[in-house]
Amino acid sequence: MLPISLSITIDRADSRTLPVQLADRIRSAIDDGELQPDSRLPSTRALSVDLGIARAVVEKAYEQLVAEGWLDPRRGSGNYVRRIPRAGRSVAVSPSAQAPPRTPPRISLRPGIPWTPPSASDAWKRAWRDVGSTPPPADYPDSAGTLELRTRVAELLRRARGLHTTPASIVITTGSIHGLDLALGALSVAESIEHVLALENPGYKSAAALATHRGWSVHDVSVDGAGLIVEQLGSAPPRTPAVYVTPSHQYPTGAFMPIGRRRALADWARDNDSMIIEDDYDSEFRYGAAPLPTVAELAPDRTVYLGTVSKTLGAGIRLGWMVAPRSMVDRISATRRAIGDLPSVPVQQAMTSMLRDGEWDRAVRTARRLYRTRDRMVAAALARFGELRGVGAGLHTVLVLDSDAARAVATSCATKGVDVPTLEHSTRSPTARGGIVVGYGSVTDDELDYAISILVEALEAALLS
């Protein structure tokens, strides 16, 4: 039973879902001091019986509160209230002194922006305390990154992605685009090649912008429900040195490249003396089957593998890694030393601490629980309107639509304060199909519920009326 001072009322006429109502009430009780730190909450079964609701409702509410950092799940013991600073209380003012009402903030369903668990923030603080206990680095750092971090990254890739590599083949970067820049720089020294980067269309516009900035031209390759269409690489210039792909969760369509097509891509690279630049930007988040083998594992001599922490700890940290053939690593390291492009030692030490202490894995597991729930909710709401891509992975789902319908739906949502990107935003040349992209990483549960209700209304008006 709940503490005698705490009562919970479930209102089935309330516009909020039952899990949201329950989570809101417990959250308020913790903030108001009705539930004290280290208090044990009832089991999901006991509370569901007490309130006359389904056990799944209580489980979802608890999962949300655990994900937000309000509750501490203890194996074999239950859920306990975490010690959290009280929310500040505002001072009451007279109506005449109040500021004019603000325009409600817009809700953006832009993909690729993560939610960072509160527990990850705590772990990040602990990691920096570890960093602060060591003397500041006096010498210039290793241009490839510290050996300890590269060793930890090699271990992470082996157990999380089945990618077998060594510290000597790893370079620490500031993120995927930095890794792409380093790879193109290393390839640019060959005078016998065309400076052409084959790129998915729709695809990651920042990758195309980086290639253009480096003086490379971009060759668009279409994608379908299985990712980049390898056969279309035959239309690329004969000496195209590289192709940039996101095979585990194609950005932005969400397609998964199956093993047969991955092998075909590896064969194309070998036959054409080309490199595959594999951006594995959000592979930590799979909610069903385990991820497929990386292309880098299938063709290590022909692949540059890129990873990043931007989808787990946040884009502002600016840390990632690349795995490349040793000849490229040596060339990249020499160039970085020559121009002073050296990775920050303190940031590397903090990341090493998180990997060593298991905090990285805990942060990923916590975020994965939240994203799994949102992934299923979005899929359930949108499945009746057409083909969905990207379900079961990542931080976004795509609903394939006619381009005109996608624009109409996005426009309708925008008038009600919800920004829904279309695939056209990531398209450089005409494609056969369009669609809308539903990113669910950075919004709150209430914002997502509201945004999906607006989106469903717009879809019904555009497709079913």
* CATH number of the domain bearing residue 447: 3.90.1150.10
- Beta partners for residue 279, in sequence order: 306
369 and 350 share a domain? no
Mean pLDDT of the 65-78 span: 83
Answer yes or no: is 100 within a domain: no
- For position 416, what pLDDT does the model report? 95
- For position 98, what pLDDT does the model report? 55
**Rounded CA separation 409/356 (Å):** 46
Tens digit of each residue's pLDDT (9 = 90 or more) over 229-240: 999 999 999 889
Query: Is the predicted pLDDT of residue 317 greater than 60, yes or no?
Result: yes
303 and 180 share a domain? yes
Query: Is the predicted pLDDT of residue 427 greater than 90, yes or no?
Result: yes
153 and 257 share a domain? yes
Answer yes or no: is 102 within a domain: no
Tens digit of each residue's pLDDT (9 = 90 or more) over 271-292: 999 999 999 999 889 987 777 7
- For position 4, what pLDDT does the model report? 41
Name the residue with tokens 């409702």: 57
270 and 389 share a domain? no
H helix and E strand count, the chain = 14, 15
Answer yes or no: is 259 within a domain: yes
Side-chain half-sphere of 465: how many Cα atoms within 13 Å? 9
- Last-in-domain residue among 340, 360, 380: 360
Query: Is the predicted pLDDT of residue 30 greater than 70, yes or no?
Result: yes
Between residues 218 and 7, which one has the greater pLDDT? 218
Between residues 89 and 228, which one has the greater pLDDT? 228
Give how many domains the chain has, as a whole number: 3
Residue 149 dihedral angles phi and psi, to the nearest 5°? -70, -40
- Beta partners for residue 71, in sequence order: 81
353 confidence band (pLDDT: 50, 70, 90): very high
317 and 350 share a domain? yes
379 and 352 share a domain? no
SS3 of 452, please?
A: helix
Q: Tell me which H or E stretch contains 397.
A: strand 396-401
- For position 2, what pLDDT does the model report? 52
203 and 255 share a domain? yes
Q: Are the C-beta atoms of 436 and 398 separated by less than 8 Å?
A: yes
- For position 86, what pLDDT does the model report? 59
Lowest mean pLDDT among 118-127, 153-162, 192-201, 338-347: 118-127
- For position 430, what pLDDT does the model report? 84
Name the residue with tokens 């607006």: 454
375 and 387 share a domain? yes
Of the candidates 388, 248, 367, the residue with the CA atom closest to the CA atom of residue 310: 367
**Rounded CA separation 242/224 (Å):** 20
- Last-in-domain residue among 333, 360, 387: 360
Query: Is the predicted pLDDT of residue 92 greater than 50, yes or no?
Result: no
Lowest mean pLDDT among 8-12, 210-214, 404-408: 8-12
- For position 194, what pLDDT does the model report? 82
- For position 155, what pLDDT does the model report? 97
Percent of residues, the chain, with pLDDT higher than 90? 64
**Rounded CA separation 294/283 (Å):** 10
Cβ within 8 Å of residue 192, ≥6 positions away: 239
252 confidence band (pLDDT: 50, 70, 90): very high
Answer yes or no: is 98 within a domain: no
313 and 261 share a domain? yes
Q: Are the C-beta atoms of 194 and 219 separated by less than 8 Å?
A: no
Could you give the strand order of the β-sheet that contains 388-389, starting from the edge strand earlier in sequence? 388-389, 396-401, 434-439
Name the residue with tokens 């199956």: 258
Answer yes or no: is 4 within a domain: no
302 and 439 share a domain? no
Domain range enclosing 432: 107-115+364-464
128 and 276 share a domain? yes
**Rounded CA separation 123/81 (Å):** 18
Answer yes or no: is 29 within a domain: yes
Answer yes or no: is 8 within a domain: no
Q: Which whole-number Å values give the CA distances from 19 to 10, 48, 56, 463, in the listed order?
A: 10, 11, 9, 30
36: buried, middle or exposed (CB in 10 Å: 19+, 13-18, 0-12)?
exposed
* CATH number of the domain bearing residue 275: 3.40.640.10
CB burial of 81-103 (b: ≥16 within 10 Å; e: otherwise) equals bbeeeeeeeeeeeeeeeeeeeee
- For position 90, what pLDDT does the model report? 45
Distance of CA 459 to the CA centre of its chain: 26
SS3 of 189, please?
A: coil
Model pTM?
0.77
- Last-in-domain residue among 342, 360, 378: 360
DSSP readout, 13-67?
TSSS-HHHHHHHHHHHHHHHTSS-TTPBPPPHHHHHHHHTS-HHHHHHHHHHHHH
39 and 111 share a domain? no
* CATH number of the domain bearing residue 75: 1.10.10.10
Lowest mean pLDDT among 51-55, 214-218, 435-439: 51-55
- For position 464, what pLDDT does the model report? 85
Answer yes or no: is 220 within a domain: yes
> Strand 388-389 to strand 396-401: parallel, antiparallel, or no bridges (unpaired)?
antiparallel
Tens digit of each residue's pLDDT (9 = 90 or more) over 113-170: 888 777 777 888 899 999 999 999 989 999 999 999 999 999 999 999 999 999 999 9
